[in-house]
Amino acid sequence: MIAVLQRVSQAHVVIDGQVHGQIGAGLLLLLCAEQGDTEVQADRLLAKVLKLRIFSDAAGKMNLSVQDLDGQGTSGGLLIVSQFTLAADVSGGNRPSFTQAARPEDGRRLYDYFVAQARAAHPVVKTGVFAADMQVHLVNDGPVTIPLRIAP
């Protein structure tokens, strides 16, 4: 699975002119399932996302995870958005190929699984809509943007 994490002070997803998912401080997670991915990769990726220490502590050091924010008096949110284009291969020319992306039915199943596991493990989880045309709005805090890949 591939993810791009962005530490945000706020983020939301708009679908058909309506705000669908919205968080304050936390992580915007762009998520892509690739061919061969299973729930094992989803679980490993979620564990990494929840424990990644990229939020500042009182001394200004990146020493806190999104889960640690709960102990700081604020609930760090997760906004999870499906994005198959993270699997783009542009090595063959100027038009991206998405052959490494999971088939839509597998991608949806793994996205839904990831979201369900995130909701079971974290108090604030919002989402986009799988395969929808979405506009993602964010204020990247830092900026901090981290790509993650968990291979099968």
Question: Over pLDDT 70: what percentage of the chain?
Answer: 97
pLDDT in tens, 126-141: 999 999 999 999 999 9
Q: What is the mean pLDDT of residues 86-111?
A: 96
Of residues 40 and 76, the one with the higher pLDDT is 40
Domain that holds residue 142: 2-149
Instruction: Give the C-alpha distances (Å, rounded to integers) separating 52 from 2, 93, 132.
Output: 15, 35, 28
Using CA atoms of 149, 146, 103, 81 in order, give the dihedral in degrees to the nearest 10: 140
Active-site residue numbers? 83-85
Q: What whole-number distance in Å separates Cα of residue 42 and Cα of residue 37?
A: 8
Under DSSP, the state recorded for 33 is -
pTM of the entire predicted model: 0.94
Assess contact for 96 and 104: CB atoms under 8 A: no
Q: What is the mean pLDDT of residues 111-121?
A: 98
CATH number of residue 95's parent domain:
3.50.80.10
Write the DSSP assignment of 60-127 as a string of letters: S-EEE-TTGGGGGTS--EEEEEE-GGGG-B-TTSSS-B-TTBPPHHHHHHHHHHHHHHHHHH-S-EEE
* Domain count across the chain: 1
How confident is the model at residue 74, as a pLDDT? 64
